[in-house]
Structure 1
Amino acid sequence: MLRSIAQKDPNVKVIANARNFGHIRSPYHALLQARGHAAILLVADLQDPPRMIRDFIEKWEEGFKIVLGVKSQSEESALMFGIRKMYYNFINKVSEIELTKNNTGFGLYDARVIEILRGIDDPYPYFRGLISDIGFESYKIEYVQPSRKRGVTANNFYTLYDIAMLGITNHSKIPLRLAAMVGFVMSAFSFIVAVVYFLAKLLFWNYFSVGTAPLVIGLFLFSSVQLFFIGIIGEYIGSIHTQVLKRPHVVEKERINFDKFPENLSSVTPKTDNKKIYYSA
């Protein structure tokens, strides 16, 4: 369908990837290919209302380099909307910067913003966090997210968990520092309990029984706390591993209605000068 539309209208440009690279990398790569004065990002299931494009452009013409659509309510599952709202509240509390709540990336971005994103060179970006980190003042337009009309979302618990942890590891060191503080507090607490038990046994040798219940409960408590924070550390290590690999956002299979097709699709860096666009592998 896209190929048919592109044949009729040369202004329609299509990039087909070699496979589905996911909802984090693919849209980000596509946005970096935009060469207009501004670009608008919205998802294909139309839960981001296209009618808002007019509102975005009006605010952009007033001087805002970033105009975002923010969900005030949603016709999706009330439970999922509530969980997402709790997540945004949590990440804003632990983040080093203030992130926009209830925004999925839907909005308008000036060419200046996109140029900055090209220079960041993040292989697995948390897009919403990057937009907040850039620091440009944004205008937020609230809307009610409609329910999905067709198709079934490819998102599942793992993909949602992945992007949630990506936001935390990219914009907060609090979980790591919390692990150190909790470890110190629990060590001190354990030492105090041990001293109390020792004194109680000395004073009431014949009547005080240590018992196995405190030992078993303490063992399970400390083991679970250790596993939890080992998992947190693992998330940060995984994030570092992803950055070190420096894999491309996507591998392209086909471009339609672009003036030039890059020779090396697996690692292209678009560059511009005043007269033309060229690619360096």
Structure 2
Amino acid sequence: MSDPQISIVAPLYNERESFPHLVPRLNALMDASPLSIEVVLVDDGSRDNTAELMQQVALADGRYHCVFLARNYGHQIALTAGMAAARGTEGLFIIDGDLQDPPELLPKFYAKLKEGYDVVYAVRKKRKEGLLKRTAYFLFYRFMKSISYVDIPLDSGDFSLISRRVANVLNKMPEESRFIRGMRSWIGFKQIGVEYERDARAAGESKYSFKMLRRLAYNGIFNFSEYPIKFVSRLGMFSIGAALLYFIQTLIKKYVFGDVPEGFTATVFLIILFSGVQLIALGLIGEYVLRIFFQTKGRPLFVVREVIREQERLGDDLPVFSDEKVKASS
């Protein structure tokens, strides 16, 4: 069988509640579309029965292909695994398995792809989430845009349709601390945004904890901005300036007013101030060093435990896969 035109890539982690809603909507999309479509589902080390549900649908329907990771690697790595396995000749349609990204927008995105755009990304004009989370996302995207050396569109996530050549470039980028929406913007080519209203989760609760969101934000900031390291330099200059002002004030009090400043409080204040500045500087530099450390290890981005796909072939272009077993779908 020839390769499909479009691959729908959906990473999943503990999505047993939303999975029964996901498959019917994907089936309806594929049945109604004139395009040849495959669905690549990636299990990111789920602890519930998501993997079993994926296996059942893949063995029953040859349009579904499943990649089971050896453990939980996180959303961005799971998405990377799905893109590496996808065979779409024209493009990859990236969605979340919780159905907050409506798959029914594929025809609208595909029309833009046929107009000559290589990246069609979704722009959220409305989010059906809590006020705190909406505010945090709003502030982060604007802060990120103000400090990044790459033009990352406001209010856009991973939900997108990317051309085959963009997918090939992304698959060749070996970054360990991945921020795919930033990498997608860095690549370039013709890109356009399409507004949509982000839905609430189909079922269950969000698997993106505050810790995971913070890590994603850090990857965006430290991978696509020079601001943190420049901030350290500016903070150092400010500290030196504050120390010089205090020194001048001390000299004026001594030689003009004959008053030598005394007291334990001023000394403690200065020690705390400069110690805090040094710790902040070390922490920011450490974020860069940590990423260099993990990148230079040269480990594969992920390990695949098992693959279920229509054909018994993995391809020689997936070097990050290891310990793979293949089941042919019927």
Could you say which TM-score interval applies, normalised by the shorter chain? 0.7 to 0.9
The reply to whether residue 253 of structure 1 matches residue 305 of structure 2 is yes
- 2:58 maps to 6
Bigger mean CA offset, 160-169 vs 114-123: 114-123
1:41 aligns with one of 90, 94, 118: 94
Structure 2, gaps ≥5 residues long: 1-52, 323-330
1:127-138 matched pairs, under 5 angstroms:
127-138=180-191
Distance (whole Å) between structure 1 residues aligned to residue 261 and residue 68 of structure 2: 71
Candidates 208, 216, 228, aligned match of 1:155: 208
Instruction: Give the corresponding residue for 1:165.
Output: 218
1:212 aligns to 2:264 (yes or no): yes
Give the aligned partner of residue 136 of structure 2.
83
Count of aligned positions: 268
1:139 aligns with 2:189: no
Structure 2 equivalent of residue 60 of structure 1: 113
Aligned-partner SS, 2:64 = coil
Q: In structure 1, what is the equivalent of residue 281 of structure 2?
A: 229
SS in 2 for 1:105: strand
Contact 1:41-1:107 within 8 A present in 2 as well: yes
Structure 1 residues 147-202: Cα deviation after superposition (integer angstroms, max 9, x where no partner): 22322222222211111111111111221122123212321331231122123023
Residue 10 of structure 2 aligns with which residue?
A: none
- Indicate the residue corresponding to 1:272 in structure 2: none
Aligned with 1:124 (options 177, 185, 196): 177
Give matches, 1:185-200, under 5 Å: 185-200=238-253
Deviations 1:255-277 (A, max 9, x none): 112422479x98349xxxxxxxx
Quick one: which amino acid aligns to residue 83 of structure 2?
A: L
The secondary structure found in structure 1 opposite 2:307 is strand
Is the 1:71–1:103 contact (alpha carbons within 8 Å) kept by the matching residues of 2? Answer: yes
Q: CA RMSD in A?
A: 2.2
The residue aligned with 1:273 is none
User: Which segment drifts farther, 121-130 or 13-22?
Assistant: 121-130
Code of the aligned partner of 1:167: G
Counterpart code for 2:279? L
Q: Give secondary structure in 1 for the equivalent of 2:123.
A: strand
**Partner Cα distance (1:181, 1:87) in 2:** 22
1:23 is matched with 75
- Asked if 1 retains the 8 angstrom alpha-carbon contact of 2:303 and 2:321, the reply is no
Establish whether residue 107 from structure 1 lines up as the match of residue 160 from structure 2.
Answer: yes
Query: Aligned residues: percent identity?
Result: 28
Higher mean C-alpha displacement, 156-165 vs 192-201? 192-201
Letter in 2 for 1:249: L
Aligned counterpart in structure 1 of residue 231 of structure 2, from 174, 178, 190 = 178
Instruction: Give the partner amino acid of 1:196.
Output: Q
Seen in structure 2, the aligned counterparts of structure 1 residues 124 and 262 have a Cα distance that, compared at 3 Å, is farther
Contact 1:250 1:266 in 2 (8 A): no
Given that residues 70 and 141 in structure 1 are in contact (C-alpha distance below 8 angstroms), is that contact kept between their aligned partners in structure 2?
Answer: yes
Q: CA deviation at 1:209?
A: 4.2
Aligned with 1:80: secondary structure? Answer: helix
Contact 1:88 1:101 in 2 (8 A): yes
Aligned-pair CA distance for 1:208: 5.6
Q: Is the 8 A contact 1:95 1:172 kept in 2?
A: yes
Distance 1:47 1:158 in 2: 21
- When structure 1 is superposed on structure 2, of 192-201 and 13-22 the one drifting more is 192-201
**Counterparts of 1:42 and 1:129, CA distance in 2:** 16
Secondary structure (helix, strand or coil) at the match of 1:104 reads strand
